[in-house]
Structure 1
Amino acid sequence: MSTSSSQAHSLAVPSRRLPRISLGMLLVLPALTAIILLYALPLARSLVTAFRDSSGVWTTDHVVRAFSLYGRDMLFSVGVASASLALIATISIAISGYLVLGTTPWAVRLLRWLYRWPLFIPFVVTGQIARSFLATNGMMNNVLVETGLMASNSAQSFLDWRGLVLTFAWKQIPFVTLLLAGAMAAIDRSHIEAARNVGANRLRCLFEIILPLAAPSLWVGLILSLVAMLSALSVPMMLIAGNPTMMTSMMAHRITYYGDYGIANALGLFSYALTAVTAWIYLRLTLRREATA
């Protein structure tokens, strides 16, 4: 009798089981761990270091000194990044539009084959190529002189902000074009056909129908390009020897020669803020688009 009652009592009390981790969490865990270890923790540490001195006291001296010492470099970085993004957007829109609306099959195939090559070239190799191409006696000036388009005494070096803009644009145009052309190709062709039937030319179809629908992909590509340009170290160091220069070069110089992580992280804080503002603008535009859809 007592045995049966104890069995009944054990059946009445629910057994406690350990929480089971879902398969999705197990799949996400490696990537989440890598993000935390490689991005989140270094970001938190750099933010803390930017506002703490060597004795552990909270201070804003690092930020103030960073602006006083490298204010010109910050403005220079913003100017180079803005000019590069404008050039990237213009050429990417032109290439993507021709890939989608082009009427010459061989030209479309050739352009589709050519524009992707810079994707596979690292930034350090890109910097070396640009240094050899844009120097006073580089390949660009030599070709212009040999073809008679420029006098030999008129050759000048483009190893300045112009070289940075051209190099960053050449490196990032294929990436943005790949995203934008894919978004344009996914648009329903009936919209384009309807516009062409009522007399719209290709430029009007591109800027009034296709580009507004593919704008989110363009914004994503430009934001990622901004992050790549602000984090590139090899290209500014290879193309520009003096000041002003990109903030990444000044960060490396501050750490290498002075061991000053506080001011270097304060410069990085400005890069974070610039990227965050751009991402915020993109999110606002996306939410506004979804609200009006």
Structure 2
Amino acid sequence: MTDSRFLALGLVAPALALVAALFLYPLGFSLVTAFTHEGVLSLANFGKAFDLYSVDILYTLFIVLLAGALTAVAAVAIAGVLTLGETPWLVGALRALYRWPLFIPFIVAGQCMRTFLAKNGLMNNSFVAMGLLDPLQTASLLDWRGIVITFVWKQAPFVTLLLAGAMASLDRATIEAGRNLGAGRLRVLVEIVLPQVMPTLLVALVLSFVTTMSVLSVPMMVAGSQPTMLTVDMAFRINAYGDYPVANALGVISYAITGLAAWFYLRQSIRKEAAA
């Protein structure tokens, strides 16, 4: 028995060492540095972070919450068509196309959006060619709107994949019962299907929220002007000033924001389990 325990520890030791070196140590170092000023425990770094970047904190929250809401709407719509759709070619086209952004890195997505959303980019040029816009009416979307569009385009397939799987596993009898009673597909989706898959949707949105909070390339490449997101501020404090304490304080603020989102989900889950 003892030999088998040592063998098991030996097998997992490399993975544990990797987690400790690449995650636990940096996390502990950033926490200690954020709460230390001139060798003593202090909140001075957080005070400086809020003085300099309070607007960026609110801007980051606005971006990730808006992107999350629009991602939820897009994912519900696509998953609803995949589950309830009665047009074979449309369902087949969506099933073939919606996953593609999953395999594109954020940095590539950001570069693509720079050329797609620019004033003379592909989107505006297409609208001009179709006669929907005059050349003088075109406008650049390389600002907060471009960041939101990129996040929604990149994260919607991930949320859709989880949501469509949950919808496909539902008992079709409830769906058919609603249709037999005269409910349209939209009403069946909103009133019958969506409440049953809401836990899956919340999990997917929390994971998407954490992902968008951590992205550096998109806000830096799509919208470089102020205000900007916290990831850009952290990179700027380190690259321009070597100011790791304030950068780590901003990181702790990001941890707190994502932790709050996870706490909200867990609280809702516990309430539902208690009510059941």
Counterparts of 1:169 and 1:91, CA distance in 2: 8
Match of 1:133 among 113, 116, 120: 116
Match of 2:208 among 192, 214, 225: 225
Question: Corresponding residue for 2:34?
Answer: 50
Counterparts of 1:56 and 1:118, CA distance in 2: 46
Counterparts of 2:196 and 2:45, CA distance in 1: 44
Match of 1:279 among 243, 262, 270: 262
Q: Aligned-pair distance for 1:141? A: 1.0
Question: Corresponding residue for 2:250?
Answer: 267
Counterparts of 1:259 and 1:184, CA distance in 2: 49
- Change in Cα spacing, 1:216 to 1:273, as seen in structure 2 (3 Å) is same
Q: Aligned-pair distance for 1:196? A: 2.0
Question: Corresponding residue for 2:47?
Answer: 64
Q: Aligned-pair distance for 1:239? A: 1.2
Which amino acid is 1:172 matched to? Q
Tell me if 1:210 matches 2:193.
yes
Which amino acid is 1:99 matched to? L
- Change in Cα spacing, 1:35 to 1:288, as seen in structure 2 (3 Å) is farther
Counterparts of 1:81 and 1:64, CA distance in 2: 23
Tell me if 1:258 matches 2:250.
no
Question: Corresponding residue for 1:91?
Answer: 74
Tell me if 1:103 matches 2:86.
yes
Question: Corresponding residue for 1:198?
Answer: 181
Counterparts of 1:183 and 1:24, CA distance in 2: 35
Counterparts of 2:247 and 2:135, CA distance in 1: 42
Alpha-carbon displacement from aligned partner over 1:208-246 (angstroms, at most 9, x marks no partner): 221111111111111111111111111111112221001
Counterparts of 1:252 and 1:145, CA distance in 2: 38
Q: TM-score, normalised by structure 2?
A: 0.94
Give me the identity figure in percent. Answer: 54
Aligned-residue RMSD, C-alpha: 1.8
Structure 1 gaps of 5+ residues are 1-16
Q: TM-score, normalised by structure 1?
A: 0.89
Question: Corresponding residue for 1:164?
Answer: 147
Which amino acid is 2:177 matched to? A
Alpha-carbon displacement from aligned partner over 1:68-90 (angstroms, at most 9, x marks no partner): 00111111101111110111000
Structure 2 gaps of 5+ residues are none
Counterparts of 2:7 and 2:85, CA distance in 1: 46
In the TM superposition, 1:115-130 aligns within 5 A as: 115-130=98-113
Which amino acid is 1:209 matched to? I
Alpha-carbon displacement from aligned partner over 1:171-219 (angstroms, at most 9, x marks no partner): 0000000011011111111221222222222122211221111111111
Question: Corresponding residue for 2:20?
Answer: 36
Q: Aligned-pair distance for 1:36? A: 3.3
Alpha-carbon displacement from aligned partner over 1:147-190 (angstroms, at most 9, x marks no partner): 11111111111110000000110000000000110111111112
Which amino acid is 2:148 matched to? V
- Change in Cα spacing, 1:212 to 1:24, as seen in structure 2 (3 Å) is farther
Which amino acid is 2:66 matched to? A
Counterparts of 1:47 and 1:68, CA distance in 2: 19
Give the 3-state SS of the residue equivalent to 1:248 in structure 2: helix
Give the 3-state SS of the residue equivalent to 2:41 in structure 1: coil
